[in-house]
Amino acid sequence: MTTKHRDVQWRVLWYWPNVIGYVRLALTLAAVYLAWQRPILFIVLYAIQATLDGIDGYVARRLNQISPFGAWLDVVIDNVSRTLLWCYIAPTFGPLIACLEWLTFACTHASGPAWKHQFDDAPEWVAAVMRKGFRTPLGVYVIAGIHVLPIVLYGRANHVDELFLPAWLSYGSVLILSSGRIYGMCVELWVVARHMRALLSQPQEA
């Protein structure tokens, strides 16, 4: 590897969107450390890192600092934060949800930058979620189930929801978000199954 290549890698490593990602990861780890003792502070820190998740993409486009590493890092941090949260709030089935999310990431990442094109011929119930980069009512519904449900369940487990929401709204939000997460799980299973079929269709070595 030449010095020039190392310099390029170093610059990408410290792109501002990636620095925001490192801050997000630090906030996530700090929040998880406090999860057992300071639930309100946990939610504040988790909310800050989630907000930064929406900012790093804007910064990347604004500064023209979009990179494959940054896209990979963004999803990894999302998955790490949700994995830790699911394992905390639901030790029995939470790890299974986390495993499915990581498996889906492995399948999409294996396709490289063209991963979105694997949905070009997807059934409508899958394509409708992915359309316009999730910027549709169904896409928002599923993404909310994936990202928001675990934090809402954490709030309920620690009675934080009682400080801000009436009981009916708390229960209703869990039901709506859970249905969105189940829909997302069906899409994830479709992605995994499609990737497996693609692997099985490749020429087999003797």
| pLDDT tens per residue across span 146-182 | 999 999 999 999 988 777 778 888 899 999 999 999 9
- Report pLDDT for 116: 62
Residue type, 17: P
- Report pLDDT for 7: 79
Q: Of 183, 193, 200, whose CA–CA distance to 146 is shortest?
A: 183
- Report pLDDT for 74: 94
Pick out the chain residues at pLDDT < 50.
none
- Sequence spans of domains, the chain: 1-89, 93-206
CA–CA separation, 96 and 93 (whole Å): 5
Please count the other Cβ atoms lying within 10 Å of the Cβ belonging to residue 17.
24
Secondary element (H or E) of residue 166 = none
Residue type, 205: E
User: Which CATH architecture best describes the domain 1-89?
Assistant: Up-down Bundle (1.20)
CA–CA separation, 163 and 118 (whole Å): 44
- Report pLDDT for 23: 96
- Report pLDDT for 1: 60
Tokens read off for 33: 């450390």
